[in-house]
Amino acid sequence: MKILVTGSEGFVGKNLITELRNRNYTDILEYDRDTDPGLLDEYAKECGFVFHLAGVNRPQNQEEFMVGNFGLTSILLELLKKHGNKAPVMISSSIQAELDNPYGQSKKAGEDLMFAYAGETGAKVLVYRFPNIFGKWAMPNYNSAVATFCHNTARSLPIQVNDPDAPLRLVYIDDVVEELLNALEGRENRAGGFCAVPVSYSVTVGLVADLIRSFGETRKSLGVPFMANELEKKLYSTYLSYLPPESLSYPLKMNVDNRGSFTEIIRTPDRGQFSVNIAKPGITKGNHWHHSKNEKFLVVSGKGLIKLRKVGTEEVHEYYVSGEKMEVVDIPTGYTHNITNIGEEDLVTFMWVNEAFDPAKADTYFLEV
């Protein structure tokens, strides 16, 4: 089946076409503002499904709203009728179609045209009133506050928020694309006469700005967002996509001595601390125990011996570990423990502890294994 995508170079169009190809839809007819207008007639004859995403968001004058959002829709539908093509047509509208402004009026006119076309031809139409869509590849300083906030924060530029309490309804680009692919397969999510993405978020501009600002501080704090919060997780993924390529890496503080080094990678208040420990040949690290802290050790390079002894007992438990066999060793509470490099090269161990180190409450007690 040939799939026509108008607005193919836009934010939604790029994401949709990329995922269509990922799922082996290869016969895609791409139409954008720079495409030869004569091709639209040919595409309207051949297509088996239409994603009509083209539109105008930031015109030079208000009249362009109606030309871009109503006029192209009218041309497209007339061409489909000309060729007797009753392929399903999806149109990208906006929640602003409910508002009495030039942009909303042009979107509402496009919707009415679609419904009239369905009544006249019997073709299936899918009208989506999208809220603010965010995600990778959206243009900053255009019509997406999230894109602008991410772009500016990633470059240490200020964010301008006129009204932090202003309501903002968001939908994530991957959720939009998933819904459109469902629609392509006849499994669209309908709400009355309209279609909708089933997952959206009602927040405030101030909350979104604060979250994105906090992402800019994570490299210093070694924190990561709360991934159980779907919006926060998706906003963080979006933020990272706006980092300049030359800023994708960042240094960590290595605590180095003659035994090797210890470097924190991630530190969180609720999911613990993740670090990498390097021990020189013959070096033993540890010989301590914890009341509440528990750890996981994973040797990724070299050869090591982990020893554990339950406090108050004599029996020592030994685990020979190496980078040749990935094996996690749990370090329970109440067990004194150490790790020794028994190889001839550096011993590299990934270590996770359930709570980040706090000098005021170290919960670490020296005791030879």
Owner of token pair 């959002």: 69
Same fold, 3-213 and 254-366: no
Q: How confident is the model at residue 108 (pLDDT cuts 50, 70, 90)?
A: confident
Domain ranges of the chain: 3-213, 254-366
Average pLDDT over residues 325-333: 97
> Between 93 and 330, whose confidence is greater?
330
Q: Pick the catalytic residue from 25, 31, 43, 103.
A: 103
pLDDT at position 99 is 65
181-209 pLDDT, tens digit per residue, is: 999 999 999 988 899 999 999 999 999 99
Average pLDDT over residues 112-130: 95
Whether residue 248 has pLDDT greater than 90:
yes
Q: List, as one string, the DSSP characters of 313-347.
A: ---EEEEEEETTB--EEEE-TTEEEEEEE-SSS-E
User: Is 103 an active-site residue?
Assistant: yes
Average pLDDT over residues 17-44: 96
pTM beyond 0.85, yes or no: yes
Q: What span, in angstroms and rounded, lies between the C-alpha atoms of 331 and 288?
A: 11
pLDDT at position 368 is 97
pLDDT at position 103 is 66
> Between 323 and 62, whose confidence is greater?
323
The fourth-level CATH superfamily of domain 254-366 is Jelly Rolls (2.60.120.10)
Q: What are phi and psi of 11, to 5 degrees?
A: -55, -55
Per the DSSP assignment, residues forming a β-bridge with 4 are 29, 50
pLDDT at position 66 is 41
Q: Percent of the chain beyond pLDDT 70?
A: 94
Q: Percent of the chain beyond pLDDT 90?
A: 86
44-91 pLDDT, tens digit per residue, is: 999 999 999 986 444 444 444 444 455 789 999 999 999 999 999 999
Average pLDDT over residues 171-178: 98
CATH topology of domain 3-213: Rossmann fold (3.40.50)
Q: What span, in angstroms and rounded, lies between the C-alpha atoms of 222 and 264?
A: 8
pLDDT at position 70 is 59
123-157 pLDDT, tens digit per residue, is: 999 999 999 999 999 999 988 999 999 999 999 99
